[in-house]
Structure 1
Amino acid sequence: MNEITTQFTIRPAQWSDAPALRDLMEKTFVDTYASYNTPANMQMYISTRFGLTQVQLELRDENVHYLIVEKQSKLIGFAKLVQNHSAEGLENKKALEIERIYLDKAYHGQQLGAQLMQACLEWGKESTTEVVWLGVWEHNPKAIRFYEKMGFERFGAHTFTLGTEVQNDFLMKKEI
């Protein structure tokens, strides 16, 4: 267990975390993107990606790892790490994707995002990853600045479909 302060911890998710993790996934995604997308597209995405059964399947998948930020037994942030998942341009590297990294907006500005990202990078090093990568929506400058501050650099782009809308994500990577 990684102590952040006496109030916060970062730890691997457990099977028993699935319901709370599912709820946090939906809440943070809605908080981040609802104002930019239609309710129908948001609901379509949430229903296919954030169902309890889906989260439970991912918790059993040996290539998927969740790290969660917890405050007094309440989940307030998480990162979804996917091993052996590469992107164009990284085919010859042992890559780790940070598929999702979110923190409840009530806890923004407390350096918890940086602590969670550091925990992701440390997890990657321990699993002998060569490069960590992620996709970030091109219209999310706050996240892009955060990733740049954490040492990530752009190396490409890909499309991301949210409901029926096709959006563009920048791909960013960090060698570790």
Structure 2
Amino acid sequence: MFKDIRKITEAYKKQKVDLPLNHRERFKNKLATLPKKHPKNNKIWALAIAAAAIILMVLGLVLKYTTQDKVEEIPVEMLDLATVSPELKQLETNYLTAINYEMLGIQPNEQNKALLDAYFQRIGHLASEYDTLTEAVITQEISEELIDKLIDNLKQRLQLLLELKEKLKEQQNENITTQNV
């Protein structure tokens, strides 16, 4: 079943195969009867490549000269008092820290709930006004008047909280004296 390929190829090599005498003429006749192919016209390809290059250059020039230089704008989220002055940002941070500290010291209960609600409503109004002023800093031209309003707003909130703490102490002292009597 199995045959050694080496033996088969040796037998083939030993056979001498002669080509017919008119082999060359027949081959030439067959070549002559085949349709002749014209060599590819490289000029067409060269013109197509040149046209594509010209189109790309024109497109590049059009884009370069028609697009306007864009001014680098600071995103809205990044604008704050630090962009105006680091000292103003530090001042804002100090006020907000003091406000948060004072708010942490307030302990609500049933006796001071009405007083707290009234003060927190006023503080909430000032906080929303502060947000509006901050948006004005972002959208409008920054002015000294606008910055003064921001700082005054922070001062008012802190003063309200200090007043609230003072009233809560007074109320607590009154409760203690009424309980002792």
> Normalized against structure 2, the TM-score is what?
0.23
Structure whose CA Rg is larger: 2
The structure in which a higher percent of residues are strand is: 1
Higher relative contact order by CA 8 Å / sep ≥ 6: 1 or 2?
Answer: 2
> Normalized against structure 1, the TM-score is what?
0.23
The structure in which a higher percent of residues are helix is: 2
